[in-house]
Amino acid sequence: MDPTTGPLLGFYDYDLLVIGGGSGGLAAAKVAAGLRKKVLILDLMAPSARGIKRGLGGSSFNADSIRKYLQQTSLLGIAINDSQMYGWKFKEEVSHGWSDLVQAVQEQVKSSTVELKRELKSCGVIYLNAWGVIVGPHTVEVTETNGRKRCLTAETLLIATGDRPQYLGIPGDKEYCLTSEDLPSLHHPPGRTLVVGGSAEGLEWAGFLFGLGMSVTVMLQPDLLPGFDCKMAEKIENHMIVGGVNFLYHCSLTKVKQTEDVISAPPQHLSKGRLQVTVMYKDGQTKHEDFDTVLLTVGRKACTSDIGLECVGVQCSQDTGRILVNERDQTNIDYIYAVGSVQHGHPATTGLSVHAGRLLARRLYGGESILFFYSQCDYTNVPTVMLTPLEYAACGLTEEKANLTFGENSIEVYHSFYWPMEWTLPSRHKNSCYVKVICHIPEQERVVGLHIMGPNAGDVLQGFVTAMKCGLTKQQLDATVGIHPGSAQVLTSLNQTRRMTDALMLRGNC
């Protein structure tokens, strides 16, 4: 077979070949196999710059699991302090063991990978720990770990290679800085840490480490939570500042170098050494400061540059490297699809990737009788959660986007602070938790954005996401019986609007 012309007479080795082990690709593969299709997954990603390998499930699946474990670790520390007000006494001083946490997390990630492989096998999906590169129409060159190469063909190709953390391209970044892929494998406590980047990932890690007793500084390079609701971002930032996290503004990291000898350790332990960073401010002044760890959270880059997309002419964004797709997750090459964080212009969450992958497989292989029930994935009103010290969850439009889309006069914003009952005895942060409901007035105040900042915000939001897909209105929220005692009931009794608050502030300043 000539790989430049593709298979003859429509005979293929596989019905579906998935390049990459991302969560969306796995979901599509399992559904397709369940519909009696022959499916192959190729998943062999290069390790990080520090030699850390990525497990099956892609960046989102593994990172999300680790995020949740670390958040719980941090919250348990807070709960220990609160417990004294509830009458608990400790005979010994309580301390945290970083190496114990790392070992437990890594073992759980390995266990999840084993379970995923077992699920794939039970579904009939063929899995190869091999590298796949498109070399012609419907044709992929497979390179196994032993170096063996062969060409395989498939009627449909699905790209699910995910993304990876970016570096800054400054002296010392790859040699001495860590990313979110590296830090969970660090076998010694990070110590005094500089988190570079004001992304959700950066603020989450800053919160995790600070909750474990580390000294943490966040350098907003360039902005705070780009793409998120600005007022919610400010509240998260303020909560972290009040808690003790340091922030650096209007500056950038220009150099990282080592100032102390490295402690000899195997690559997987990640060497320990004191680091000196050079910070440049907008006015041109520079400053040097020492840290134990520098964590880069300055964005993620799609893994699309070395899988042969250019060989068949798949179009990608020049700015992001992510793949351009239509409303059916299809590229400009009709037999090639993409799901997950490799897509350009769509949100990137694990839940969305899994949902999109399942729908794609059902559209491709489900038959005409069920196509009506499995239309293309709806990329609007995608819920998201940020596991910052005070959890933040949102669905729908930000306040800024709603005003831009509908006009300020057509938008009503209902909001309120609240105090979780479990926080009252320890007298913790009375005016930190906050909710905001954004309504479109001409549509009977239909809810177009819902934002929650407080404990278990993601779990609280989940049910309201379904309601929003059904056209939830403010009147329906008001008619809902709240559960007492519970934090979610605050959403059923909102009567303060942004306009009322602004008017009171103006009157108070007169």
Task: Choose among 444, 434, 435, 446: nearest CA to 402.
Answer: 446
Residues identified as active-site: 484
Instruction: Say if residues 364 and 184 touch (Cβ distance below 8 Å).
Output: no
Token representation of residue 351: 């839940």
Evaluated on CA atoms 435, 441, 447, 448, the torsion sign reads: negative
Please return the burial class of 206, using the count of CB atoms within 10 Å of its CB with bins 0-12, 13-18 and 19+.
Answer: buried
Token representation of residue 459: 């779990």
Evaluated on CA atoms 203, 320, 308, 353, the torsion sign reads: positive
CA–CA separation, 501 vs 412, rounded Å?
A: 12
128 three-class SS: strand
Radius of gyration of the chain (CA): 25
488 three-class SS: helix
Token representation of residue 70: 């670390």
Tell me which amino acid residue 139 is.
T
CA distance to 346, 397, 430, 436, per residue, from 327 (Å): 10, 20, 45, 30
Token representation of residue 400: 């800024």
Q: How many CB atoms lie within 10 A of CB 102?
A: 18
Please return the burial class of 282, using the count of CB atoms within 10 Å of its CB with bins 0-12, 13-18 and 19+.
Answer: exposed
Q: How many CB atoms lie within 10 A of CB 141?
A: 18
Task: Choose among 206, 194, 396: nearest CA to 279.
Answer: 194
DSSP state for residue 56 in the 8-state scheme? T
Instruction: Say if residues 167 and 345 touch (Cβ distance below 8 Å).
Output: no
CA–CA separation, 463 vs 474, rounded Å?
A: 15
Q: Which residues of 411-422 are buried (b: 16+ CB within 10 A; e: fewer)?
A: bbbbbbebbbee
Q: How many CB atoms lie within 10 A of CB 161?
A: 29
Query: How long, in residues, is the chain?
Result: 510
DSSP state for residue 34 in the 8-state scheme? H
Helices (H), 300-349: 309-312
Greatest alpha-carbon pair distance for the chain in Å reads 82
Backbone angles phi, psi at 93, to 5 degrees: -70, 135
